[in-house]
Amino acid sequence: MQTLGDTGPVRPLGTLAAAAAGTTLALSTSLLVAPPSNAPGTLTRVAATSTPLAGRTIVLDPGHQLGNRNFPREIARLVPAGGMTKPCNTTGTSTNGGYPEATMAMSVSRLLKRRLEALGARVVMTRYANREDRWGPCVDVRGRAGNASSGVRADLKLSVHGDGNIGGGPGFHVIAPTSRAGWTDDIAASSLVLAKRVRLALLAAGLPVAAYTGGGDGLDLRGDLGTLNLSDVPAAMVELGNMRSRADAARMTTLSGRTRYARALAAGIVSYLR
């Protein structure tokens, strides 16, 4: 897996089926579907009368930057990552056909941003461009995004990625930080709740969990990701699928598939914040 320059073994959380059984989504993913084109004004009425995220600030972190591969020295530089150092960033992965993770993550994040804003949220992104002539930001910048020190005090942060496990099969998994004294002990519990809500929303959208990591339940705990370690607000990282899987790649390379991801992520966020 290549995520934001963070590398290292995954620490499986084990099955959470029993814990998740008592948790329900506060907002069905179907409520976030855009109205048919022959229903003028429907979306406007919904947006005007249903703003469950009013007053909330959300940070979206579209993993990697398209141009990272063109700046090997810059992204290899070591930066603080929460009691350790990590490379600034990595190139990310791609489908077997060459569709970049950076492009997929940005597309889903933009679709998600529009949905969240329609529900009343203020949305801040760690990057707004997807260009070959740019790189970063580094994981320390991404990790601190949404903290009070960044100038934007967020209610949560979600980092959006795609995995690149050759031969691993299809499926998503959501990563929450382990509890590390002085780093994530203040957000570990709330971040785990966020990760569970995102996981349930993706399941509700009919998306499969990855069987090749985290015990096959779609949820991992890791203590080695700077993007999570440096956060002072609830934070989770989602690997929407395995880009090396034909089934996941087919979904990720279509607008309808990326919209499906964005709809589910929005439902998970609303469920958590409500």
Residues annotated as part of the active site: 239
Structure tokens at 215: 């015990």
> Phi and psi dihedrals of 168, rounded to 5?
-85, -10
Q: What DSSP character marks residue 71?
A: -
Say if CB 10 and CB 218 are below 8 A apart.
no
Distance separating alpha carbons of residues 183 and 174, to the nearest angstrom: 20
Q: Percentage helix, strand, coil, to 5, in the chain?
A: 40, 20, 45
Position of tokens 């959208």? 205
Beta bridge partners of 204: none
Distance separating alpha carbons of residues 137 and 65, to the nearest angstrom: 8
